[in-house]
Chain A
């Protein structure tokens, strides 16, 4: 029997107002384009770099008709020199200089390398890489050459799985109930540029969303068989509960309904390991002061929790008793956990590992 005595709870943010900081950094050195303290919008480009272009290889031996050890002294360009298509990299004079054999660069770029076997490497033109602010906020920190930290006060709703990149748009709730599917018929020309919310979706819904150019979709759950299709959509999707037929948890639904019509940012990026990242929805809200951050710490009575596994997946409640010695569950295992009073008032046992603390 495995008895995980985990005292450090898993947590999920479904937070109406908090200080949020997001790092916006390049993967290679570049240039930061905004100043400390600047106000930025989600589509403000905050930093830019250049991604090295493709490498082209040229056999100077073959072009010039000389052995490898003779090539180096025929070079007419040095390492790092800029090149245009046709620029001579090396040249051989024959017949007392009357004939010249040239080795021209095939592309515009830089002379990147050369080796003893007579090969030259030409690096094609770099491609620009930009990173945006993603959220509306203020530049709170600048990391020279790499990026910034953007800070804002707002709502944060985290999901568990997503696909696609980042986008911004107006939040739109087209369902009245957390379990109600988002129908294709609810998506029309007015949906363009919006981040739409629903309990679940079908293939028809996704097609309609793509056709009408929504900015993103926030769903409670999805059939696992649709993952491949969703991963190829041209906009981000964030699932709040997981796979199957699970309604949006009540706090998230109520918060999203409250923020219907607000500008929002959505990220579908999901990295389950080696740098764990969750999909999220962030809505900037202007208030004088968000509530003080509650310290984490071990599980305790009164904690609001979100259940993340069967048989009560997606439900929310409050811890009313700790059951440290464990309880034998339907699977036959004896697991430590707690008694949770659900919002429906039912009291159920849930193992610690199957809970997230609500923040």
Chain B
């Protein structure tokens, strides 16, 4: 298929999803990860890098516009996925892709040490705290894997930006926050700062992380729901943002040893596991009573929550989390595109159905990244459970 062929694929995919969603409601449960799912996802991530001329990873493959430009934020944490897969396979190609991405991130790092929002532009927009945190993860992954000081140096500059722009209460808001508001999902930034504190042996990064985590904990209601977890003012929290929050909390527990963070992640997880069971899937959004708020599934969030539950299983040994994680990963993986045409050979769509409001009609690079992460965790947990 030639460039522009994505438009030919669009109606086929739309009709398929319409049929699937009408048979048994949204997210018709399908069990089983297909053979080669992880390799297909990793091949696609590499292709997303080639598609930009080996700058960053293309933000997405769109069924309207084709390959999108390189996207700094998500390129940052795709680095870790590539390195993890390299560690499992011994294939140095993934290390090469990761290193090239890391160097590109250094090249586009803003003068203030942060990472700009959106795509790289001749006149870059303001640095965004969350985006900076995600790229920080990538640099730390490279530093830990390869030992190259330039990645730690870039990480320090990012960490200094985060400390400098943090509000007194631990949140990031205003100019350096998406839509100017504070978000609970920046717990993932706190996680990055804790990692930086260990690599750079500097307490101020840990202190900044701890301030943010306290702020995040205060946002959790007794029923497990997080305030300030929505992406946009007035919107409902998306499973993508909820999963970011939970992952940030549980990993911060690992680094700080504070049981409150683990407890917070488990509280929300208990609710969502029950939702998955009762509803048969996870709608993209929930309101403060955990009533579903959307008629579509955010597949990124589904893959991420599968990964969160598998990580929690690794930490707690609670087999119910393994059970829920396997189901969530199955549901996400069931929607992985596996066509012969390379741009559609391995990616995960933003939503099911494909026209759902989260990243509609496209395959975001971060969706595929989180699917790959979840598939790797799945393998590890099944081996652990033997």
- Are A and B a genuine interacting pair, yes or no? no
Measured CB to CB, the residues of A under 8 A from B are: none
